[in-house]
Amino acid sequence: MFVSNFMSYPVRTVGPDTLVPEARKIMSAASCRHLPVVDESKLLLGIITDRDIRSALPSKVVDQGEMTECLHRFETLPVKRIMTETVTCLTVEATLDDALILFEEHKVGALPVLDADNRIVGILALNDLLKAYKKLFGLGVRGSSLIVVKDNGKPHPLTRLTEILEAREVPFTRLIRTGDNDRDTLIYIRIHTHKLHAIYHALAEAGFETVAPHPISLESPGFLRRE
């Protein structure tokens, strides 16, 4: 649940006077796209991205004389001149939910993670967040699949569901109940068995309705209407 369980650390960082070509080399060696800029005490000063570096490279349309000058400027440019100084950060106490909200709000590719003294201790890239949620949902776990049951208002649906599974010694690892006012309440369960049909039968016997998945059909008028 905490970003600290999913962030990358230790983080490769650079000082503010590191030259941009050097930073570029570090990024490609570490195959990362975000490089935090810190002072001697590891306090965060800013961040540079591969895109910042590309923008600093001389344009190909300039003439030869200008090109040489631009290249020289690039070679001697310190990262502090191109870094973004206002950086959105997470704390070590932040949860994945915090990260999701920040990523959605700020449209950034990575969020540095800071300790209580504002020193950088890790970095969470958008891809790390995706991996975290993949793990959380149990996607790709061998031998598991998701079944979807309608909550039809009868009492204690979760208790009854888990009893059915446990009575049959069927392990399950995720149980999610969604509640949306204008839609059916659905219960998602990741169960681990090859005998899915036996579970479907048992659920039907207990009065549960399972939901057959349907993608949105582009031809149907329902595509534009929210059902």
Catalog residues that contact other proteins under the rule CB under 8 A: 138-147, 169-171, 192-198, 200, 212-213, 215
Rounded CA gap, 188 and 209, in Å? 12
Minimum distance from CB of 169 to other proteins (Å)? 5
Q: For the CB of residue 140, give the shortest distance to other proteins in the complex, in Å.
A: 6
- Least spacing, CB of residue 174 vs other proteins, in Å: 11
Q: Which residue, 140 or 179, is less far from other proteins as judged by CB?
A: 140
Q: How far is the CB of 111 from other proteins (least distance, A)?
A: 26
Cβ distance to other proteins smaller for residue 100 or 141: 141
Question: Looking at beta carbons only, is 60 or 197 nearer to other proteins?
Answer: 197
CB of 197 to other proteins, least distance (A): 4
By C-beta, is 88 or 162 nearer to other proteins? 162
Q: Smaller CB distance to other proteins: residue 65 or 215?
A: 215
